[in-house]
Amino acid sequence: MTTLTPGTWKLDMSHTLIGFIVRHAGISKVRGSFNDADATLTVGDSIADSRVEASVQTASFDSGDENRDAHVTGEDFFDAAQHPQMTFVSTGVEGTEEEFELTGDLTIKGTTRPVTFDVEFGGATVDPFGATRAGFEATTKISRKDFGITWNAALEAGGVLVGDTVTITIDAAFVRSED
């Protein structure tokens, strides 16, 4: 496994998955992803000197169901017309290069809260076309209510339609910029 070299790395969205998992009706889980995002990773001389800034287009939400996608990108959830992006700006990194915690400010629907991602570095390599690539897996859990996303519907047997806890999973590929 090659280590990361200091410099600027850009997200390769064609080799990245930004996913979510949320409980539905108390009995199953809905999974989906966002298909349009941009991120810049700035690697410093040490892991503590590194940072990331990312934005995700909320209208790119995709759960595989057009009706649900329209509802979630609408006013009840993301309100993509008024809040077209959610953003993440890191504020700190702790751990080793292989496994670390990435803390930062996540903004969804105009509300910013601190979150911490557990991150695993998958390695870096030079691809057959000469580009230096790096891979990461990151996960966190958030309360959607913390971000003002409170829509729900009561179930006849008790409970609610949409769970509050959302698991965010990211499998990201970055390409080193030629400075």
* Alpha-carbon distances, residue 41 vs 57, 155, 160 (angstroms): 18, 43, 38
With a CB cutoff of 8 Å and minimum separation 6, the contacts of 4 are: 43, 97, 121, 124, 134
Q: What is the pLDDT of residues 94-143, one digit of tens each?
A: 998 899 999 999 999 999 999 999 999 999 999 999 889 999 999 999 99
- The answer to whether residue 80 scores a pLDDT higher than 70 is yes
**Which stretches of 34-87 are DSSP H helices?**
66-73
Rg (CA), the chain: 17
Q: How far apart are the first and last CA of the chain?
A: 23
**pLDDT confidence of 1, banded at 50, 70, 90?**
very low
- Identify the structural domains of the chain with CATH numbers, from first to last: 7-176 (2.40.128.110)
Q: What is the pLDDT of residues 140-154, one digit of tens each?
A: 999 999 999 988 888
Identify whether the C-beta of residue 144 lies closer than 8 Å to the C-beta of residue 111. no
